[in-house]
Amino acid sequence: MDFIAQSSSLNSADDVFTLLDGNTIPCVGFGTWKVFDDAQGSDIIQEAIVVGYRHFDAAAFYHSEKSIGTAIKASGLPRTDFFITSKVWKDDLSPRAARASLEHSLSDLQTDYVDLLLIHWPKASSADANWQDKLAETWNAFQDFKREGKVKSIGVANFLPHHFAALSGEKPVIDQIEFHVGYLQAEACAYCRREGILVEGWAALGRAALLNHPKVCELASKNGVTTAQLCLRFCLQEGVLPLVKSAHGARMRANRELFNFSLSNEDMATLRALPQIAWSGEHPDTAIPLDPAKQ
């Protein structure tokens, strides 16, 4: 799968990448980290639907899935109009716990299937000595979920090349990793490109240090776009699906307006060459996030 080639034919945020298993995924996703299960969270998702988003990236860990389910029901649109991702948290890497996690997510989302299910992190902690065995067993369970029709596609998140060796059978179609200008994860992306695995970029806008970086501001001004639009367009031209998030309708709309301009080869090279900027500090082997409820 050549996702850079696929990206060259995208004309709107509703266009799709075709995955290794033949399924498709809208080329821009709306992230729901910190969109909580409350009235405000449901309002944010409803606004995103009005703006035009149909691809929602969720996770059991985010506690956003009730808001997504409520907003989709309230929209009156059919379930088949939407692409929903969920994830199994790193502390649930066993067949039994993964199944319980999926069933809980399906209940909260008010649906009988998700379009994509991901293993959220490959290890529970840096001291997790049995992570390969747990990944292997959980991945086998994911393939069962797909055969049962509870999941259409299966993939992983925060995997580096060496983590994939623990998996057997069906190949993951997606690796969702931190990816943005200033943090390109070259080895992970090269591996995924060789294997036909689509990279999804979480934190595609980095943080303030990225959006306020002088060179990013300069290139955004040159192209007549916002710094956010510049960074998202960079992802797409790299063949990476960006996940975006905003609670404000105007920014939600702007984050979909990525197809009336393109970045030159020179601009792309300049952005690739920037030093590390706005990295989260998280690493799947050494700096794995903790569940706040268990701290």
| Spatial separation of the C-alpha atoms in residues 151 and 12, rounded to whole Å | 26
Annotation says 62 is catalytic: yes
63 among the known binding-site residues?
Answer: no
CA 130 remoteness from chain centre: 26
In contact, 12 and 191? CB cutoff 8 Å:
no
In contact, 17 and 6? CB cutoff 8 Å:
yes
**How many degrees, rounded to 5, is the angle at CA 81 between CA 205 and CA 150?**
90
What tokens does 219 get?
């290139």
**Which value, in Å, is the radius of gyration of the alpha carbons in the chain?**
18
- Catalytic residue, candidates 53, 62, 183, 191: 62
Residues ≥6 apart with Cβ < 8 Å to 206: 180, 181, 182, 183, 231, 277, 278
Look at strands 55-57 and 198-202 and give their pairing: unpaired
Active site residues: 62
Which residues contribute to the annotated binding site for substrate?
A: 120
